[in-house]
Structure 1
Amino acid sequence: MPSLWIATTTLWKSFSAESLGESASNAAEVPRLLPASGFKTIEANQQVEEGELPDYRVDRFYPVRLGEVFQDRYQVIAKLGFGSSSTIWLARDLKQVDHQYVALKVYVHTSLVHRELPCYQHMARHMADSLHQGRGNIRRFIESFEVTGPDGKHIILVFEAAQMSLRDMKVVFRPNGFDEDRLHVHHGNMLLGIYDSNLLRKLEKMEFTSPVPRKPVSSTRTIYLSRLMLPKGGPMLLSDFGEARIGPGPHGGDIMPLEYRAPETLLYVGWSYPVDIWSVGLTAWDLLNPKRLFTARDDDGDLYDAAHLAQLIAALGPPPPEFLAKNPERRADFWDEQGEWLGLAPIPDHRTMEALETQLEDKSGFLQFMRRALTWLPEKRATAKELLQDPWLTGEKAY
């Protein structure tokens, strides 16, 4: 069976004049005039894109405009996505040879801590002379700069252009999950790269022939809808290191999307590399299955830690005493001194891994893989190397 990690060992293929199918040119391009009409206008009372975020504040975001040029170099031609701390845009490099496409990540001006740029700088020092084949699966960082908006200063990071994240790809194109034997592909932090820039050229042409719908917010601010494109084959890229930490730690504080949080983060104890193994397990689950293993919500849809822990108990069994001993004060919020669940949320009897896994004809190997990745005790989780050698990934059928 092809491995979940096949794509993460595919070397990144950089753009070249030959691969672009056009001759190299050092001449700077003149910015293109994008259409000022012919698009659908979204009503003011309709919330779209970042405007739908629960903590959205319009003044936090830089008012990027289609056609805008940054640094006299990068012309914005399409919106690719958004998050609570940034918006992502496709831009054309007007100065570089072949005028390649890049992605601009425009941060909100209210970010208190910027970890992504230092993380890329740290990795650059280690990757400069590295021959490790996985180095090509780190999204290539190009440069950063700062712009001043109407409400503050914004950091902009420039990356190689890519397609969508696996999370978005599943939501839009594969809602029932990927096939087990086609897993060439953390969900939101894994991007499908690009071998052929013609994909992006088509995206640019679409803005001229069918301008994207948009919502005017003010005379100087517009919320654009993100462009979608049917994904094609490409290298797997790790991206979005905004919450990354350098070194083994232990580190503290909340990390990971709520549903992805490992048990040690819920118990408020220091965490290290094993949280990534937990994420690998849940990523594998989410790619294969239409229903998430953990939602962190009860049957009424209410989101809280007790509901999350109750789901962990349903899937993994009760936590061992050694785990609860890591933080007795936090343990007392949910368990008694004998380690019995206090019942702040009911333990759902229908959320075992066996019950929720509905896609595979033979689920035994996959569930064994999951139980190696998802354990209460972080020190009991398999290492990355051990998971790569797991029979479910290697296809040895030795389970």
Structure 2
Amino acid sequence: METQRIMEFPHRNMDKRPKKRPRLTWDMPQPVPPTKVLPTIYCGQEFANGTVPNYAYSSIYYKGVPSNGSPPWRPDDKDGHFVFAIGENLTPRYRIMSKMGEGTFGQVLECLDSERKEIVAIKVVRSIHKYREASMIEIDVLQKLAKHDIDGTRCVQIRNWFDYRNHICIVFEKLGPSLYDFLRKNSYRSFPTDLAREFGRQLLESVAFMHDLRLIHTDLKPENILLVSSEYIKVPDYKFLSRSMKDGSYFKNLPKSSAIKLIDFGSTTFEHQDHTYVVSTRHYRAPEVILGLGWNYPCDMWSVGCILVELCSGDALFQTHENLEHLAMMERVLGPLPQHMIIRADRRAEKYFRRGARLDWPEGATSKESMRAVWKLPRLQNLVMQHVDHSAGDLIDLLQGLLRYDPAERLKAREALRHPFFTRDLRRCGYPV
């Protein structure tokens, strides 16, 4: 028997990377659906001007698919993922338009909400106990965020949730691509400094908002920061104007709107919960997490620092797959780890150090390729100067505060928002800060 437990929320108006890196985004290429259920409308295609045509709701017709009601019951796949066909209903209210992405948690489907006549994104969680439990925790977090984020500008807005055929389904507003996907589709060309500054300001406001609510995101990364709009424009890329004009590489895309929202609260923890296990995606993982020293709010701030570098350079700051190499990259970019953190490292991290005094590098390197990956990295100041044409001094100073090894000395979110990198131009314009 199907069960539907629905909680309504007030409706408001509206590869360069290592191959093992997970891509958990809402804007991945769609698989080609079976011919018999292909809709005769445009569904998620990209257009030259960056816009998508309106869906012709009244003209949608799928042969053999009822206009309302439930699809035939099918068993889940071997991993517990929901099996569906494009055009079918996910409860009588939601019609499946396309598959937007897939991750460890399950799938994200683009659906038409027949009641509100809007397109929504529905996270369909795998029918496995631990993922169902994690999704209920995420719903708890989303409810808390929605209660306090009155204007809905900081974090993705939950519409409702329900339990459908043993799958927890969370309904969200539909947003644009992630910052990671935008970089990827732009050949990993960096954002202009002023745009990266605006992204950073909004990200810090969202993080400060969460920290005020005693919540720690623990998985901040460009994949979990979504543009509100999918629209973009093409502009000349002056770095490429003097090079070959093949494939239009002298142009790059920029989003029409700088508005962003934070997503994916499946790993979010409350202040009082256990903070000893490993958190964060590898590239954005703070040193205290790797060393097993426990973590708290500052782990989010380390991730913000890594993200800012990536937005300004186009590449992840620490592109690595294992802990020793990761620590070696940190020392290459930021200088040696503090001795007091090395001494306190837990048993699992002791193997990364020689006699508990210094990092076991390059002696402990797994390959020459790993050694080269570390040696090619510049110091933080030089890295920023390579990519930032103005405000470089302010940005370097901000990053040095966000990427301090000792979490007790790391900038807090509201302290970072008061940094000259964000306030200097406002003061020039006469705005209060």
Residue 387 of structure 1 pairs with residue 400 of structure 2: no
What is the TM-score when the length of structure 2 is the normalising length?
0.64
Residue 165 of structure 1 pairs with residue 178 of structure 2: yes
Match of 1:353 among 380, 384, 409: 380
d(CA) in 2 for partners of 1:231 and 1:355? 28
d(CA) in 2 for partners of 1:328 and 1:64? 46
Deviation at 1:328? Answer: 4.8
2:118 maps to what in 1? 100
Which amino acid letter does the alignment assign opposite residue 388 of structure 2? L
Q: Percent identity?
A: 23
Deviation at 1:177? Answer: 1.1
1:121 maps to what in 2? 140
Deviations 1:264-311 (A, max 9, x none): 111122111001101111111111112221012xxxxxx321111110
Deviations 1:341-389 (A, max 9, x none): 2221248333122343421124322222111111211111000011111
1:189 maps to what in 2? 224
1:306 maps to what in 2? 324
1:177 maps to what in 2? 190
Corresponding residue SS for 1:378: coil
2:13 maps to what in 1? 14
The 8 Å contact of residues 116 and 244 in structure 1, kept in 2 or not, is answered as no
Which amino acid letter does the alignment assign opposite residue 265 of structure 2? F
Residue 334 of structure 1 pairs with residue 352 of structure 2: yes
Aligned counterparts, 1:75-224, within 5 A? 75-96=95-116, 99-110=117-128, 112-113=130-131, 114-125=133-144, 127-128=146-147, 130=148, 135-148=152-165, 153-173=166-186, 175-183=188-196, 184-185=198-199, 186-194=221-229
The 8 Å contact of residues 115 and 241 in structure 1, kept in 2 or not, is answered as no
d(CA) in 1 for partners of 2:277 and 2:176? 31
From the superposition, tell whether residues 368 and 174 of structure 1 become closer, same or farther in structure 2 (CA, over 3 Å).
farther
From the superposition, tell whether residues 124 and 331 of structure 1 become closer, same or farther in structure 2 (CA, over 3 Å).
closer
From the superposition, tell whether residues 245 and 131 of structure 1 become closer, same or farther in structure 2 (CA, over 3 Å).
closer
From the superposition, tell whether residues 234 and 179 of structure 1 become closer, same or farther in structure 2 (CA, over 3 Å).
closer
Q: Which ranges in structure 1 are unaligned for 5 or more consecutive residues?
A: 1-11, 16-21, 23-28, 37-56, 200-228, 297-302
Aligned counterparts, 1:222-237, within 5 A? 232-233=256-257, 235-237=259-261
Corresponding residue SS for 1:325: helix
Aligned counterparts, 1:14-33, within 5 A? 14-15=13-14, 32-33=60-61
Deviation at 1:59? Answer: 3.7
What is the TM-score when the length of structure 1 is the normalising length?
0.69
Corresponding residue SS for 1:145: strand
Corresponding residue SS for 2:396: helix
The 8 Å contact of residues 342 and 356 in structure 2, kept in 1 or not, is answered as no
Deviation at 1:250? Answer: 5.5
The 8 Å contact of residues 115 and 242 in structure 1, kept in 2 or not, is answered as yes
1:40 maps to what in 2? none
Deviation at 1:58? Answer: 5.4
2:43 maps to what in 1? none
The 8 Å contact of residues 119 and 174 in structure 2, kept in 1 or not, is answered as yes
From the superposition, tell whether residues 255 and 332 of structure 1 become closer, same or farther in structure 2 (CA, over 3 Å).
closer
Deviations 1:38-97 (A, max 9, x none): xxxxxxxxxxxxxxxxxxx8543212321111110001112222223222121111123x
Deviation at 1:110? Answer: 3.1
d(CA) in 1 for partners of 2:78 and 2:322? 28
1:69 maps to what in 2? 89
Deviations 1:233-290 (A, max 9, x none): 2632111101111125551222211111111111122111001101111111111112
Aligned residues: 309
From the superposition, tell whether residues 35 and 81 of structure 1 become closer, same or farther in structure 2 (CA, over 3 Å).
farther
d(CA) in 2 for partners of 1:305 and 1:182? 32
Higher relative contact order (CA 8 A, sep 6+): 1
Which amino acid letter does the alignment assign opposite residue 333 of structure 1? K
